[in-house]
Amino acid sequence: MLALAQQGTAAQCRRVKFQDHFSNQAATYAQSRPTYPVALFDELARLAPSRGLAWDCGTGNGQAAVALASHFQRVIATEPSEAQLAAATPHARVVYLRSAELAPTVRDHTVDLVTAAQAAHWFDRPKFYAEVKRVLRPGGVVALWSYWLARVSPEIDRVVDRFYHETTGPYWPPERVHVENRYRDFELPFVELPFPKLTIVREWTAEELAAFLASWSAVERYRQARGEDPIPAVTAELRTIWGSEKRTVRWEMFGRIGRV
């Protein structure tokens, strides 16, 4: 059943254009992106009308999808990038399908929760919202979220900010403005619910933070445009300030939640 679904979706995606910002660094993305707080998925499961089926759109390597599987009987996880799907984490209750803003094989009004983690700013949102309205059951919930720059200490934050705004600044796709605006500029054609106040927290070395920076879409665009890698220089700068110990890294989360 899964193989048939994947074949059909792959055929569909050959006809679908999408903004592919992460395929070239899919392995780095899977290894270096922080996971989301358990409290987020607890709250989304509480808001959902039941725990039958969730759809995670733009799943990437499946971080959110696997977390949702702790609460829902089944999770459909869609992602247009073959490279990202190849790096996705397998789970018995997660079915990965190759698709962009659509949920192929999902029947009308059967989904309890739709999520988009670090992905909605890349979507054709009118197309996505139409599909959300198709698949969500009455009372169903849609949640879109992202997070801001890593915060460690004033000295390290200045390095990260300069790398973001100056080194890679010219290479960010225009859709990145939605992250800078904390998704406040998103239209949301649903009854809005409050997004919980949450922070991602990790204990990392300088090298682990540098690996996270390497997963940015703007870093890959910088490499392609200039034929050089900006990561070794920023890694050296971080090491000088950081030292060899682990430090606490925090990311402020933000998002939008709506109910049908």
Alpha helices, DSSP H only, in 94-196?
125-135, 154-162, 177-180
What span, in angstroms and rounded, lies between the C-alpha atoms of 51 and 199? Answer: 25
| pLDDT for residue 30 | 57
Residues of the chain with pLDDT under 50: 1-16, 18, 21-22, 26
What span, in angstroms and rounded, lies between the C-alpha atoms of 97 and 84? Answer: 11
What span, in angstroms and rounded, lies between the C-alpha atoms of 181 and 208? Answer: 26
Task: Give residues with Cβ within 8 angstroms of 230, minimum separation 6.
Answer: 163, 167, 168, 219, 222, 223
Give me the sign of the Cα torsion angle 105, 31, 73, 254: negative
- What does the radius of gyration of the chain's CA atoms come to, in whole angstroms? 18
What span, in angstroms and rounded, lies between the C-alpha atoms of 207 and 85? Answer: 25
What span, in angstroms and rounded, lies between the C-alpha atoms of 245 and 211? Answer: 16
CB 113 within 8 A of CB 72: yes
Query: Which helix (H) or strand (E) element contains residue 246?
Result: none
> Which pLDDT tens digit goes with each residue over 167-213?
999 999 999 999 999 999 999 999 999 999 999 999 999 999 999 99
Other Cβ atoms less than 10 A from the Cβ of 126: the count is 11
Angle between helices 206-214 and 154-162 (to 10 degrees): 20
pTM: 0.87
Angle at 39 between CA 164 and CA 130, to 5 degrees: 70
| pLDDT for residue 15 | 44
Which domains, from first to last, does the chain contain? Answer: 2-147+173-197+251-259 (3.40.50.150)
Question: CA dist 18 to 79, 139, 168, 228, Å?
Answer: 10, 30, 22, 26
| pLDDT for residue 32 | 76
142 strand-pairing partners:
114, 258
